Structure 1
Amino acid sequence: MVSAGERARRTGSYRRYREGQNIRILVTGGAGFIGSHIIERLLDDGHEVVCLDNFDPYYDPEIKKSNIQPFLENKNFTLEVGDIRNRDTLTRLLEGTDYVFHEAAQAGVRISVEDPIKPHEVNATGTLNLLEASRDSGVKKIINASSSSVYGTVEYLPFDEDHPRRPVSPYGVSKLAAEEYCRVFSELYGLKSVSLRYFTVYGPRMRPDLAISIFTRKALANEPITIFGDGTKTRDFTNIKDIVRANLIAMQKGEGAYNIGGGHRVSIQTLAETIIETTGSSSEIRYADTVKGDAEHTFADTKKAERNLGWRPQVSLEEGLRRYAAWVSNSRS
């Protein structure tokens, strides 16, 4: 097996590897919610960061542009507008790259039910493309953004990493396929990887189509909040600061799959009520038909991450919701 030093020598990063200097990192989907927070931390740590994003209009590209606006004057930051499905783009960007944070994805459980092809092309085929290019370029490790959606049908709670994986949406299937490609490339080719199974991430710059974002903005405007279903579905919500910390740890240690969750199980009804109370809102709660493809429950057992990575969630949901509501209010002013 080729050593890390030899791989670094072949890709032109040997000097930095030998001298222990800051490293070159590619963040796919770097203009998105999670990717931009990871980049912010990497730049703060003095690393050289390349952001690859295609600014897909799944939600307003202007939001993504504003996410990375603060980085554009940083000499260690490079923005590349491109797609992980383009092999030539990846080959060029990965030359001399040490690590990859793979955040690029076609998100959206509900939209994947309507159009299952695109999530497969981006999340499964796109990840395979990235893995091949990374293997050929001598990348040391890939930190892959996976999802609690790989579990799907509940056999027991909380989910540990050995829980059967039976996704209930095409999105979940595509993320599971990406995980499996990462595993196979590690076993066959020695390309190290970690797949972090995120549980409903929230915080500043989060996607506008997610429940906490919608509920908070409605609450601040004293407008009705609509819940799909009867409100009894439960989720494990994870603050973005805990997600970023898990990613930075995973760059240095761990292989395989890890749950990264907030460690609490909250009903959608309780979430809405908590947001209304936190914001001092007069919003009323309304109900609409449930949506196909939505998981009934998610709840993370994070003992493996604590044991192997030394990671555990630190931001409580109540504190995280207060911080997020304050951020939304400030961004409006």
Structure 2
Amino acid sequence: MNKILITGGAGFIGSNLCDYFIAKGDHITVLDNFATGFRHNIEHLFEHPNFTLIEGDIRDLETCRQACEGQDYILHQAALGSVPRSINDPITTNDVNVGGFLNMLVAARDAKVKRLVYAASSSTYGDSEALPKVEDVIGKPLSPYAITKYVNELYADVFSKTYGLECIGLRYFNVFGRRQTPNGAYAAVIPKFVIQLMNHESPVINGAGDYSRDFTYIDNVIQMNEKAMLSENAAALNTVYNTAVGDRTTLNLLVQYLKEYLSLYDPEIDKIEIIHGPQRVGDIPHSLASVDKAKQLLNYRPSHDIKAGLKESVEWYWGNLK
């Protein structure tokens, strides 16, 4: 049994990680302040003998110390996501994503945790136009959020070199899947579009819809976290990896897929028109990851492409939110 601390464990990615590792027989401790996560994502685990919840904030060092005590591994998912949120409130984004991350590094170091795997971001590539995105080639960040996630990588590198704390960063590329919330001002595009189509509302695509993303299904992200956490390959440690599929889909094609899969449940959805609005500030035009490094050093093999992931996601949303 591994003892794993999952920060942000009540969130979309965190709660899926909880379910996966609980099913494998590990002991899970969740640290979450429920600022963006939801109690209902993990309440089915509250009575499980291998589950512990600490309600607290990573901005408090003592809370981080308490959570790290006795843990073997940390999967650090806690953060304030969203480029628009960071543009609207850069102070809070920095406090959580940089200050909170530094607290976790210090607490992990002092608790002698074996390894910290943390959620990095594809936003770190910034204004680099090179495709596909390769880990060693980045540009200038285009948002406060992107800056915070890059600072995380710098801090992790310093802590690995200075204190010997094993750290691996996973640059997530547009993660989607079950439990991703469609609600709120900063909802991700896939659940937002799904719920609008289910309600017979017209989704609004920012710009012409020709921007493309390497949409990454949640099961691929779980696989990467597990491989990064348990890898015994010394060459695989203290670095960052793209966590993606290695393929890209335009927003126009994404909506086309969603309408196709949702129409299997409700044929009227296929008739819904799409609206195009203004381009969003801070958005990069195209995102496509090279996953060669993860394949080589972590033996990563994506299990779901965009179509397989969307089909499972649509099935989940229809069964749980309709």
CA distance in 1, matches of 2:78, 2:60: 13
Which residue is 2:266 aligned to?
none
Kept in 2: contact 1:218–1:283 (CA 8 A): no
Which residue is 1:55 aligned to?
34
CA distance in 1, matches of 2:306, 2:131: 19
1:203 partnered with 2:177: yes
1:312-327 matches, within 5 Å, as: 312-327=301-316
Return the TM-score normalized by structure 2. Answer: 0.93
Kept in 2: contact 1:154–1:297 (CA 8 A): no
1:259-292 alpha-carbon deviations (Å, 9 max, x no partner): 0112111111111121112212222110111111
Kept in 1: contact 2:124–2:138 (CA 8 A): no
1:47-70 alpha-carbon deviations (Å, 9 max, x no partner): 1111000011x5xx5xx1111011
SS in 2 for 1:195: strand
Which residue is 2:248 aligned to?
265
SS in 1 for 2:171: strand
1:70-108 alpha-carbon deviations (Å, 9 max, x no partner): 111110101111011111111122111111000000111
1:294 partnered with 2:283: yes
1:56-75 matches, within 5 Å, as: 56=35, 58=36, 64-75=38-49
CA distance in 1, matches of 2:2, 2:214: 33
Kept in 2: contact 1:302–1:312 (CA 8 A): no
SS in 2 for 1:172: helix
Please tell me the residue identity of whatever aligns with 1:277.
E
Which residue is 1:150 aligned to?
124
Please tell me the residue identity of whatever aligns with 2:316.
W
1:93-136 alpha-carbon deviations (Å, 9 max, x no partner): 21111110000001111111111111111111111111011111
1:186 partnered with 2:160: yes
Which residue is 1:279 aligned to?
262
1:74-113 matches, within 5 Å, as: 74-113=48-87
Kept in 2: contact 1:275–1:321 (CA 8 A): yes
CA distance in 2, matches of 1:81, 1:95: 15
Kept in 1: contact 2:119–2:171 (CA 8 A): yes
Q: Which runs of 4+ in 1 moved over 4 A?
A: none
Structure 2 residue runs of 5 or longer lacking an equivalent are 264-268
CA distance in 2, matches of 1:211, 1:164: 24
Which residue is 1:141 aligned to?
115
For these two proteins, the number of residue pairs brought into alignment is: 307
Kept in 2: contact 1:103–1:144 (CA 8 A): yes
Kept in 2: contact 1:28–1:51 (CA 8 A): yes
Kept in 2: contact 1:84–1:90 (CA 8 A): yes
SS in 2 for 1:219: helix
Kept in 2: contact 1:155–1:163 (CA 8 A): no
Q: How far did 1:313 drift?
A: 1.3
SS in 1 for 2:42: helix
Q: How far did 1:312 drift?
A: 2.3
Q: How far did 1:230 drift?
A: 1.2
CA distance in 1, matches of 2:44, 2:178: 14
Kept in 1: contact 2:214–2:246 (CA 8 A): yes
1:226 partnered with 2:200: no
Which of 251-260 and 214-223 deviates more?
214-223
CA distance in 2, matches of 1:286, 1:102: 37
CA distance in 1, matches of 2:62, 2:292: 40
1:244 partnered with 2:227: no
CA distance in 1, matches of 2:166, 2:10: 24
Structure 1 residue runs of 5 or longer lacking an equivalent are 1-21
Please tell me the residue identity of whatever aligns with 2:31.
L
Return the TM-score normalized by structure 1. Answer: 0.90
Question: Kindly, what percent of the aligned residue pairs are identical?
Answer: 38
Kept in 2: contact 1:155–1:164 (CA 8 A): no
CA distance in 2, matches of 1:296, 1:85: 33
